[in-house]
Chain A
Amino acid sequence: KAGVTQTPRYLIKTRGQQVTLSCSPISGHRSVSWYQQTPGQGLQFLFEYFSETQRNKGNFPGRFSGRQFSNSRSEMNVSTLELGDSALYLCASRPTGLNPEAFFGQGTRLTVV
């Protein structure tokens, strides 16, 4: 069974631009979550989607948004990029809404210059 796939693996963007990251969960998994990892703040929860609906949202500004498609694939968008948005963005998938076990992808390393 294929794992969680995140694309692209690496991305360099300029301040003020916007970026879209993609995540394909494990086949059959319906829940997708996104986390930001930085040296200063560690791993922080962004949001979770389940059956195309946002279920949970972390404490991030509105520049961070996401969506989930009917095939459970998810995208995360960051608009008006700031230098502080440079981070490893991790996607995790869960099989059902009642199972807390999550499997993470390799991440997308975003660098904002």
Chain B
Amino acid sequence: AQSVTQLDSQVPVFEEAPVELRCNYSSSVSVYLFWYVQYPNQGLQLLLKYLSGSTLVKGINGFEAEFNKSQTSFHLRKPSVHISDTAEYFCAVSDLTNTGNQFYFGTGTSLTVIP
């Protein structure tokens, strides 16, 4: 079975400072990794994805993530955060098979940007 561990449940950071949200996964099959962001009372918005190819992937709003197969990690980074980045962030691994697809999500990291 696949699983995702987000090591930090809450991350406070000052505005314009860099941030890293950590994600480790466990998967026995081909790896498809995602980061989603959720604002209060909203659904999930796709930030970025790793399907194949370059291990450094860039997403929306200045976020990027690096797929590290040897460390089974997919950490999310942003060099300078804004107040508007305050939200819940979810790392997910996709279990795509011939019978369908299922996401396994981490427990989420609450990012709070402090003015």
**Residues on A close to B: CB < 8 A?**
4, 6, 31, 33, 35, 42-43, 45, 48, 50, 55-56, 58, 90, 92, 94, 97-98, 100-107, 109
Contacts and interface: CB of A to CB of B under 8 A. Distances in A.
A112 to B, nearest CB: 18
Given A103-B46, A105-B43, A48 B105 contact: no
Among A31, A90, A100, residue most surrounded by chain B Cβ atoms (within 10 Å):
A100
B102 A33 contact: yes
B86 interface: no
A55 B102 CA distance: 10
Size bracket of the B interface:
20 to 34
Contacts of A35: 103
A100 B50 CA distance: 10
A45 B101 CA distance: 10
A48 B100 contact: yes
B112 interface: no
A6 B41 CA distance: 13
